[in-house]
Amino acid sequence: MLDTIYDTSSEQIVDFATRFINTLDLFITNIPSLIERSNSLPGLSDHDMILVQARTKAARTKAPQRRIHTFVEKG
């Protein structure tokens, strides 16, 4: 599983304990810039839940306008 995560340039977002001192929940993404926050919420038993807030649309940078030169023949 770790090889697949590395091969796809993905990252694990949950870096905190979800059950005592262990991290049991995984949230893996290949676009970590979309993740706004992740935190732990109390669960029903000794296992906490995770809440991940992410943007659903990636911010795109506009390409600069290109200059198109035209050739005008005189005469």
pLDDT in tens, 43-61: 888 888 889 998 888 778 8
Position 10 in a domain: yes
> Model-level pTM?
0.59
Split at pLDDT 50, 70, 90, the class of 75 is: low
Residues 6+ apart with CB under 8 A from 46: 19, 20
Does 50 fall in a domain?
A: yes
Say whether pLDDT at 15 is over 80. yes
Percent of the chain predicted with pLDDT > 70: 99
Average pLDDT (26-55) is 88
Query: What domain count does the chain have?
Result: 1
> For residue 37, what are the domain limits?
2-54
- DSSP for the chain reads -HHHHHHTT-EE---S-SBTTB-----EES-GGGEEEEEEE--SSSS-EEEEEE-SS---PPPPPPP--------
